[in-house]
Homo-oligomer: A and B are copies of this chain.
């Protein structure tokens, strides 16, 4: 591999998502550290196009946990909802300027930028939490009933929730999940041919089948590709996300 080692790499390389937490709340100082760390990520044109909402109201947490059937949305040390936010950029403008900004804000380009900014910040948040001895998991399922979540958080135009991050004191120690082989993810100058790509994934599919069969929790009998193909071909309805985004003024054109 290589002869470099430092604390940052050690932290990055030992990441695993934690989905079971001890009954212990984060301190205000821990929350502040995590948010400030998130803010230090790069941001396209320094737009800082995200907002982070701490969901602390027990009734709202319970409701969201029930909607999503995800117990660690309720049971954690703190729940952050990461939102793409293009609104903050506009609030100091005049009414005419706000109208003039619509064209660019409603584009898929700016939606992509806001999602990217939000995720860059989120990864810093996860690493910061882990560096404090806490565990974290990014939760996509908060969007299961995205209109209800939008309403809970009183989100205005140009602000949409992308995912949650539950943080807390770990009450489990899952294995590190093996990633795709480097040669199936990193290429030089050109994307490989489909047959090359297949070759590079085959051994991984085999290994992951073994991993899923033998890991300590949530066992199953399928390789990496097969799990995803079987899910994706189900043609599940995707909860009107496009219409929701359009209604929020995002990803329209």
Q: Which residues on A are within 8 Å of B, measured CB to CB?
A: 1-4, 6-9, 11-13, 15, 17, 29-33, 35-37, 39-42, 44-48, 50-57, 60, 83, 87-93, 97, 100-101, 103-105, 107-110, 112-113, 115-124, 126-128, 130-132, 137-138, 140, 143, 152-156, 159, 162-163, 177, 179-180, 182, 184-191, 194, 197-198, 201-202, 205, 223-226, 228-229, 231-236, 238-239, 241-242, 245, 251, 253
Tell me the complex Cα distance, A60–B231, Å: 38
- Closest Cβ of chain B to A203, distance in Å, is 12
CB of A123 within 8 A of CB of B131, answer: no
Residues in B whose Cβ lies below 8 Å from that of A202: 92
- Closest Cβ of chain B to A49, distance in Å, is 10
Smallest CB gap from A35: residue in B = B186
Given A83-B191, A107-B242, A120-B123: 10 more A-B contacts, CB < 8 Å: A6-B131, A13-B40, A42-B123, A44-B140, A52-B186, A53-B190, A54-B187, A88-B180, A92-B202, A100-B232
Q: A92's contact among B46, B205, B238, by CB below 8 Å, is which? A: B205
CB of A162 within 8 A of CB of B232, answer: no
Tell me the complex Cα distance, A190–B33, Å: 20
Q: Specify how many copies of this chain sit in the oligomer.
A: 2
Residues in B whose Cβ lies below 8 Å from that of A152: 189
Q: A37's contact among B9, B36, B163, by CB below 8 Å, is which? A: B9
CB of B37 within 8 A of CB of A90, answer: no
